[in-house]
A and B are shown apart, each in its own frame.
Chain A
């Protein structure tokens, strides 16, 4: 569904230097596939995500969705950022409806649709609350609803659980798997957490920095539905260890345990 063919992206930095954020990245993503991008800071994960979103254009190479070159944002893509970035003056329901309003796609069923999504993430009854009254995890659930309300077929997530505490983070990861199970979509998920990457993904794209390239793509064969119990699973263990090796070299790999 999403095809990146030898995509390179170069930024001009303020002091006039050129920074190669992505170099020669090729990737094929199938429909309803769950892809996680993992790698150290500065490996171009977010740049890759924004190229797929159509927010920035590749300097060289081509990015296509369903055969169409990505030259601008498309409305059938939903985005979740690291911070929930909800509108502080609007209710939870209005926050979820924001994309439809911005797209001028509000109709009589929109409110029901938004309410159904809030129910899906366990926030029914919170429609009229203000974002300030919610915890960080709940705010991020609202942000996920906001990304899903216009029924996109692609969901882009840029470290969506990065700002949450470890426990909430695990809970949200499971939640996301459940939502993805109920409403299958092509998901591109950027993360710093190796465990999160392996638990979620069909394939983990491991990236290396300066310049950002794909180091390796690892198939995760653990059966679904998954949970964090798969941490003990040998396939999971091998995948985590391989990713760790790719990112750190051999120096930090703890032979006993390979959890993030």
Chain B
């Protein structure tokens, strides 16, 4: 009956993946041209109206002033990247076990939820100076702040994913008298992968925010620190440069998560069809 049904299902999907050159053009070249045009307009306005550089610097000034202290900026970028990545890794290390605990039993969930909500309702900027006093003036409070900013969406989406398994599969697992561990490992976690990655994408973006917030409060290095110190001395172009590097860092890290999902979990990328 259905031997002929399978290939037509597969073909259009492959065709969609192998994009014609015009699609690549629209996805890469057009946005690049648009961005370049935006910078040109920006430059032109600054030049035409003679906007003072300490208010809104033109892109050329941002470029020149940032390149002038290139090694320093690079060093600050590395410091921020380190905080972001450590915070992200610790967020994962905390969130996945928490999500498993949350879904393990309603009693555990009600015990943990108030604490989770508390970590989210506390203003992190207000918490940061206190953490510095408690944990000392080093990398640790920055990582803690980053984790506090980034981990919550990851916990929630992972927990949602772990609960998204069709009830029949849980019945099947019970009928096999499988252990909770193998149910988690063989059924629940793989089912949660698309949800976990949705959480990871939010978490990596928030980790950048968290790291900068932490650097504002307490740091001797990092792009957040660079913004604070350069604006204090009216070196506004450098602050803008740091800002642009931060946004590029955010986009690149986000894309790395997207690509990691496509490479390691190709069946997960089309989130919608997972339940079918």
On A, residues with C-beta under 8 Å from B are 50, 53-55, 72-75, 77, 79, 81, 83, 85, 87-89, 98-99, 101-104, 129-130, 132-138, 150, 167-168, 171
Bound CA span A102–B169, Å:
12
| Contacting pair B175 A79 (CB below 8 A) | yes
Q: Is the CB of B6 within 8 A of A102?
A: no
Q: Can you name 27 A-B residue pairings with CB atoms under 8 Å?
A: A53-B171, A55-B171, A55-B175, A75-B175, A79-B172, A81-B168, A85-B168, A87-B169, A87-B187, A87-B190, A88-B273, A88-B276, A89-B265, A89-B267, A89-B268, A98-B186, A99-B176, A102-B182, A104-B182, A132-B9, A134-B6, A135-B1, A136-B2, A137-B1, A138-B2, A150-B176, A168-B1
Given contacts A85-B169, A132-B276, contact A103 B176 (CB under 8 A): yes
Query: How far, in angstroms, from A74 to B268 measured CA to CA in the complex?
Result: 33
Contact check, A135 vs B175: say whether CB atoms are below 8 A apart. no
Centre residue among B1, B175, B268 by max chain A CB count within 10 A? B175
Task: For the complex, give the distance between the alpha carbons of A91 and B276 in Å.
Answer: 15
Asked if B177 is at the interface (CB within 8 A of a chain A CB), the reply is yes
Count of interface residues, chain B, beta-carbon cutoff 8 Å: 29
Per-residue interface assignment for chain B, residues 159 to 192, with 1 indicating a CB less than 8 Å from any chain A CB and 0 otherwise = 0000000101101111111100011001100100
Residue of A whose beta carbon sits closest to that of B268:
A89
Check A72–B6 contact: CB distance below 8 A: no
Contact assessment for B187 and A101 in the assembled complex, using a CB-CB cutoff below 8 Å: no
Residues of B within 8 Å of A132, CB to CB, are 9, 267, 273, 276
- Complex CA gap A233/B173 in Å reads 42
From DSSP, what is the main secondary structure of chain A's interface residues?
A: loop
Q: Are B168 and A137 in contact (CB under 8 A)?
A: no
Neighbouring B residues of A83 by C-beta, 8 Å:
166, 168
User: Per DSSP, are chain B's interface residues mostly helix, strand or loop, or mixed?
Assistant: helix
Q: Are A85 and B166 in contact (CB under 8 A)?
A: yes
A-B contact count (CB 8 A): 84
User: For residue B5, which residues in chain A have a CB less than 8 angstroms away from its CB?
Assistant: 135, 138
A144 to chain B, nearest CB (A): 13
B158 to chain A, nearest CB (A): 17
- CB of B177 within 8 A of CB of A103, answer yes
Residues of A within 8 A of B182 (CB): 101-102, 104
The reply to whether B168 and A133 form a contact with Cβ atoms under 8 Å apart is no
Residues in B lying within 8 Å of A, measured CB to CB = 1-2, 5-6, 9-10, 166, 168-169, 171-178, 182-183, 186-187, 190, 193, 265, 267-268, 273-274, 276
Complex Cα distance, B177 from A140, in Å, reads 22
Query: In the complex, are the beta carbons of B267 and A53 less than 8 A apart?
Result: no
A83 and B275 alpha carbons, distance in the complex (Å): 11
Q: Which residues of B contact A133 (CB under 8 A)?
A: 6, 9-10
Bound together, the chains give a CA A102 to CA B185 distance in angstroms of 10
A88–B193 Cα gap in the complex (Å)? 11
Highest count of chain A CB atoms <10 Å: which of B176, B177, B178, B186:
B176
Report if A53-B175 is in contact (Cβ < 8 Å); known contacts: A83-B168, A85-B166, A132-B276.
yes
Chain A residues whose CB sits within 8 angstroms of the CB of B183 once the complex forms:
102
Q: Is the CB of B274 within 8 A of A88?
A: yes
Those 7 A-B pairs whose CB atoms lie nearest each other, nearest first: A135-B2, A102-B178, A102-B176, A81-B168, A135-B5, A73-B175, A85-B168
Alpha-carbon separation in the docked complex, A135 to B183 (Å):
27
Chain B residues with CB below 8 A from A138, complex form: 2, 5-6
- Taking the closest CB of chain B, its distance from the CB of A103, in whole angstroms, is 5
A103 to B190, CA, bound (A): 18
A83-B166, A102-B182, A168-B1 known; A77+B175 contact, CB < 8 A: yes
Known interface pairs A87-B190, A98-B186, A99-B172; 16 further A-B residue pairs with C-beta atoms within 8 A, sorted by A's residue number: A73-B176, A79-B172, A81-B168, A85-B169, A89-B190, A89-B193, A89-B267, A98-B172, A99-B176, A130-B267, A135-B2, A135-B6, A137-B1, A137-B2, A150-B176, A167-B1
CB neighbours of A167 from chain B (8 A): 1
A85-B168, A89-B268, A101-B182 known; A134-B175 Cβ under 8 A? no
